[in-house]
């Protein structure tokens, strides 16, 4: 009963509207509003909870207390922050493009919310289940780059524009490894539909080991590439260069304040939820239980648990890994991440055609480890010290 509770509520609403003689267009609209309101309510609640949790975790890592004044244990801090953002003055530069300045934060919020509808939250609980779901996810997520460019251009500020260009360069550089790593799971499952990819990871090997893609050599490599690229795409540390706190300006957000700034902040968190949900579906079995005797727990509980585990991992990385330089960021994307994504893709094909047994496992492990060692050695090699020769000064 609990397993199919969301679908039961949805079907009950459909039956009620049909019983009252409502037209099909009204039924479809009510169904869409129910799905959208459920997703917004769930992830806006997670956004508020995660904002407190992140500040608490970072505070503990830095030997501080974190939010502890508003409400018990500081749990009402998001309410205070929301009131503050709603009441702060909205300052728009006199030379700014007011239309683009208003639309940029709205455009930033829409893509991650739409991407949430493609995720498989449980068995038979995918809001928008289409054959090209993975392609639709990446097509929609590119709207974030448009929003960032709009924000940088609308402010009529060189700092905001340069920050937007740097953010777009970062997102474009890490988008290719992200897509290629996701392509490995789609290739092995033979489908671009998220439900089929999750179904391909069902069952247990040896009676207890789940058949998740992350437990294969190519899957582990692709998952690591996916997670690192997701950090960069979500503007998370150590890739939060577009709005680094140690710099004088906040990148494309320099000319924003009040509720508009909060919308960008919310879009970043919702995008983080969406990409973590996609990673859970592609490599961590989606709604599949980790052990055979735990299959009685509702499938959507497992999916949300895996999603939130990846979110907490991102928070942990933020508190422990220092920010890198922009030249290191782009070099890492093109010289290490992209070749490793191709290596994982080739290893996945070999693993599949070798029968997915011990032989394929061994060959795919070699195809992943050798490029990793070679690329790591090349990428981490120290450059030769510069030689400076004094110039002779001619006598007058």
**Confidence band of 347 (pLDDT split at 50, 70, 90):** very high
Q: Which residues pair with 209 in a beta bridge?
A: 205
Question: Which one has a higher pLDDT value, 15 or 153?
Answer: 153
Mean pLDDT of 40-60: 88
Q: Which two tokens stand for residue 280?
A: 């859970």
List all residues 6 or more positions away from 370 whose beta carbon is below 8 Å from its beta carbon.
none
**Confidence band of 9 (pLDDT split at 50, 70, 90):** low
Share of the chain above pLDDT 70, in %: 86
Mean pLDDT of 223-248: 81
Mean pLDDT of 71-89: 86
Question: Which one has a higher pLDDT value, 272 or 6?
Answer: 272
Mean pLDDT of 14-34: 68
> How many Å is the Cα radius of gyration of the chain?
24
The reported pLDDT for the residue numbered 71 is 85
Mean pLDDT of 182-190: 93
> What is the DSSP track for 310-346?
HHHHHHHHHHHSPPPPHHHHHHHIIIIIHHHHHHHHH
Phi/psi at 290 (nearest 5 deg)? -75, -20
- The yes-or-no verdict on residue 3 having pLDDT over 80 is no
The reported pLDDT for the residue numbered 281 is 93
> What is the DSSP track for 143-164?
HHHHHHHHHHHHTT-HHHHHHH
Choose among 294, 274, 278, 297: nearest CA to 286: 278
The reported pLDDT for the residue numbered 316 is 92
Give tens-digit pLDDT for 124-134: 888 888 888 89
Is the sign of the CA dihedral 206, 210, 211, 214 positive or negative?
A: negative
The reported pLDDT for the residue numbered 262 is 87
Give tens-digit pLDDT for 159-176: 888 888 888 888 888 999
> What is the DSSP track for 271-305?
HHHHHHHHHHHHHS-TT--SSGGGTTS-HHHHHHH
Break the chain into its structural domains and give their ranges. 47-87, 91-379
Q: Which residues pair with 205 in a beta bridge?
A: 209
Give tens-digit pLDDT for 314-345: 999 988 888 887 778 888 888 899 999 999 99
The reported pLDDT for the residue numbered 375 is 87
Distance of CA 380 to the CA centre of its chain: 27
Listed in order, strand segments (DSSP E) in the chain are 204-205, 209-210
Question: Which one has a higher pLDDT value, 288 or 3?
Answer: 288
Mean pLDDT of 54-74: 88
Listed in order, strand segments (DSSP E) in 71-221 are 204-205, 209-210
Mean pLDDT of 197-215: 88
The reported pLDDT for the residue numbered 312 is 93
**Confidence band of 13 (pLDDT split at 50, 70, 90):** low
- The yes-or-no verdict on residue 5 having pLDDT over 80 is no
- Mean per-residue pLDDT of the chain: 84
Q: Which two tokens stand for residue 245?
A: 């706190």
Q: Which helix (H) or strand (E) holds 28?
A: helix 24-61
Mean pLDDT of 231-235: 88
**Confidence band of 91 (pLDDT split at 50, 70, 90):** confident
């Amino acid at each position: 009963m609990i397993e199919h509770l969301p679908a039961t509520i949805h079907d009950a609403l459909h039956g009620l509207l049909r019983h009252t003689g409502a037209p099909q267009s009204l039924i479809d609209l009510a169904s869409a509003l129910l799905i959208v309101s459920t997703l917004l309510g769930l992830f806006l609640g997670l956004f508020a909870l995660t904002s407190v949790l992140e500040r608490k975790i970072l505070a503990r890592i830095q030997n501080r207390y974190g939010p502890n004044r508003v409400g018990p244990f500081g749990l009402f801090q998001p309410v205070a922050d929301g009131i503050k953002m709603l009441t702060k003055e909205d300052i728009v530069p006199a030379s700014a493009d007011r239309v683009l300045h208003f639309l940029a934060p709205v455009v930033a919020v829409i893509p991650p919310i739409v991407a949430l509808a493609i995720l498989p939250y449980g068995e038979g609980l995918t809001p928008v289940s289409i054959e090209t779901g993975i392609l639709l996810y990446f097509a929609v997520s590119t709207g974030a780059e448009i929003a960032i460019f709009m924000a940088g251009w609308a402010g009529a500020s060189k700092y905001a524009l340069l920050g937007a260009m740097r953010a777009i360069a970062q997102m474009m550089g890490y988008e290719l490894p992200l897509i290629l790593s996701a392509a490995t799971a789609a290739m092995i499952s033979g489908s671009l539909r998220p439900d089929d990819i999750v179904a391909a990871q069902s069952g247990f090997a040896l009676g207890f080991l789940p058949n998740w893609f992350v437990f294969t050599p190519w899957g582990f490599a692709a998952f690591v590439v996916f997670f690192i690229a997701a950090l960069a795409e979500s503007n998370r540390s150590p890739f939060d260069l577009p709005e680094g706190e140690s710099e004088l300006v906040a990148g494309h957000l320099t000319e924003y304040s009040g509720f508009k700034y909060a919308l960008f902040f919310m879009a970043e968190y919702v995008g983080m939820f969406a990409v973590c949900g996609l990673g859970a579906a592609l490599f961590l079995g989606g709604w599949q239980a980790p052990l055979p005797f735990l299959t009685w727990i509702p499938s959507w509980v497992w999916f949300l648990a895996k999603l939130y585990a990846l979110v907490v991992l991102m928070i942990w990385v933020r508190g422990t890994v220092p920010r890198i330089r922009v030249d290191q960021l782009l070099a890492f994307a093109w010289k290490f991440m992209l070749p490793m994504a191709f290596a994982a893709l080739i290893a996945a094909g070999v693993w599949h055609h070798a029968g997915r047994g011990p032989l394929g496992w061994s060959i795919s492990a070699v195809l992943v480890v050798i490029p990793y060692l070679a690329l790591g050695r090349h990428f981490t090699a120290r450059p030769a010290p510069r030689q400076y020769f004094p110039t002779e000064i001619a006598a007058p």
